[in-house]
Each structure stands twice: as structure tokens, then as C-alpha cells.
Amino acid sequence: MGEPAKRRPPLKVEFNPKSEQLQAVTLKSKSLWGGKTAVVAMGDLLTLAAFSLFPPITNTLVGSFSTEREALAACKDKQPDLLYITECLEQVSAGVKPKQAVDSDDTFMAKFAK
């Protein structure tokens, strides 16, 4: 019989907030997001907190919400340049779609799906 198949070592997944690559992206993002405002709407509270606390996002935030109703009200009131939203939000009200939050051609919506 032949040699047994060699096993590859498991891949390492590491998040290092002080990595050079992340620092470079953070620095570049300042010019991309400079002067912009954003609303974040994510149903998972851990994801909402982690996303909202990333410095380039934090610097643009006018609000972070876990419900569609709150995000919709903030978008109407604040008219953000950017809307980051997931499909699964808490307490979604019947008949209100996330796209209704974007009632301006000047708002860019980034939709995250699982």
C-alpha cells in the first residue's frame, strides 16, 4: 500500500487590530468616509456593537439600531449618506421594508446577508 495522506495543519484565523494591513485600511478609509454620515441597522447585537465600534464606522455614525422602526426614523430624521443594514432585524414591523429607509438618492445602502 502507499503512503498515508499527509494532513495539512489547520488554518489560523486571527484578528489583530494592530496589524499593519488593518492600520493601512483604517488610514485609507478616513479619506473615503471623511465628511460622511452613517446609520447602522443590525439585528444581532454583538455584530451591531462590533461593527459600530470599528473606528472608521464610529467616526461617521449618527445612530446604531437593532430594529427596523428605529433605523427608519433615524434615516428620515438624519438623512445619512450611508446605511449599513442586515436582513434580520429585531421586531420588524409589518409592511415596512428596509429599502423604505432610503428615500434619498444621496444615501448609499450596504446590505449584509448571511
From CA 41, how far away is CA 66, in angstroms rounded? Answer: 5
- Asked whether residue 75 is assigned to any structural domain, the reply reads yes
21 located within any domain: no
CATH number at residue 105: 3.40.50.2300
Residue at grid coordinates 488593518: 22
Q: How far is CA 66 from the centre of its chain?
A: 12
- Domain residues for 41? 36-112
Please check whether residue 24 lies inside any domain of the structure: no
> 55 lies in a domain?
yes
pLDDT of residue 104: 53
How many domains does the chain fold into?
1
Residue 11 lies in a domain: no
In a domain, 12, yes or no: no
Q: Is residue 74 part of a domain?
A: yes
pLDDT in tens, 21-31: 888 988 888 88
Check residue 60 and give its pLDDT: 92
Please determine, for residue 54, whether its predicted confidence score (pLDDT) is greater than 90: no
pTM of the predicted protein model: 0.66
Residue 31 lies in a domain: no
Grid coordinates given for 72: 427608519
pLDDT over 80 (residue 71): yes
